[in-house]
Amino acid sequence: MLDSASFGGHIGAMRRFLAGLLAVLAVAVVGSSGAHAQTGVPEIENYFNSIRTLQSRFVQSNPNGSVVQGTLYVRRPGRMRFEYDPPSQLKIVADGFQVTLWDPATRDFGQWPIGWTAASFLVKDPLKLSGDLTVQALNRDADGLINATIVQTRKPQEGKVIVRLAENPLTLRGWSIVDNRGNTVTVTLTSVQSGMQLADSLFKYDGPDAGQILNGGRN
């Protein structure tokens, strides 16, 4: 577990990967579909669209070697919350219109319209793995997990998201975000639940005034 000072060292990387993290708004929304003898893109697409809410614990490995964990909440369309465990105070929230990242400990604060990010189309409901998105590869790894490599159809060079799913029944296990420099953030999910009620308040900015964050709590 990192202390607040060392955790602050990867905030820059978090900003670079924020557009990729928005892919979670679509990729992380999975449900209980039946088993398939041969799982292909149509089955995965249906699986993504099968439920409305998701809650999970996550472990995140960053390019600088740091490892953090927390709880992920997702509600389609367009709503997500990454809440990191103490001592980190970092939170990332998407409210359906904009994404807010804040960390009072490191005085980091940012807001971006969802439509301003390269991954904005991923929050649409329903999600379609064709058109704006392309499944570049679909294979199984040594652990028997399905790996679906997803890129932007018109800008495949800008990075990719590799989604990992168990089969029979399909179950999301995590994803890796690879930017155009080869830097990778890997998220592994555990205790995945779906179909629960998630309060509106989870997807609203609930931190201190931005000025207080940026000024270190000084008036």
- Domain assignment present for residue 203? The answer is no
- Domain assignment present for residue 153? The answer is yes
Number of separate domains in the chain: 1
- Domain assignment present for residue 206? The answer is no
- Domain assignment present for residue 210? The answer is no
Residue-wise pLDDT tens digits, 140-163 = 988 889 999 988 888 888 888 898
* CB 43 within 8 Å of CB 168: no
- Domain assignment present for residue 218? The answer is no
- The predicted pLDDT at position 12 comes to 55
d(CA 106, CA 11): 8
Amino acid in the structure at residue 32 = S
d(CA 155, CA 201): 35
DSSP 66: -
d(CA 199, CA 81): 11
CATH number at residue 97: 2.50.20.10
Query: Radius of gyration (Cα) for the chain, nearest Å?
Result: 17
H or E element, residue 11: helix 11-16
- Domain assignment present for residue 47? The answer is yes
Amino acid in the structure at residue 124 = K
Containing domain of residue 111, as a range?
A: 4-196
For 111-114, the CB contacts below 8 A with 24+ separation are 112/18, 114/22, 114/78
- Domain assignment present for residue 180? The answer is yes
Q: Is a pLDDT exceeding 50 seen at residue 1?
A: no
Residue-wise pLDDT tens digits, 15-59 = 555 655 555 444 444 333 333 346 899 998 888 888 788 999 999
Helix residue ranges, H only, 37-196: 41-48
Residue-wise pLDDT tens digits, 102-126 = 998 888 999 988 765 534 444 567 8
55 Cβ neighbours under 8 A, 6+ residues apart: 71, 72, 73, 74, 192, 193, 194, 196, 198
- The predicted pLDDT at position 120 comes to 47
- Domain assignment present for residue 213? The answer is no
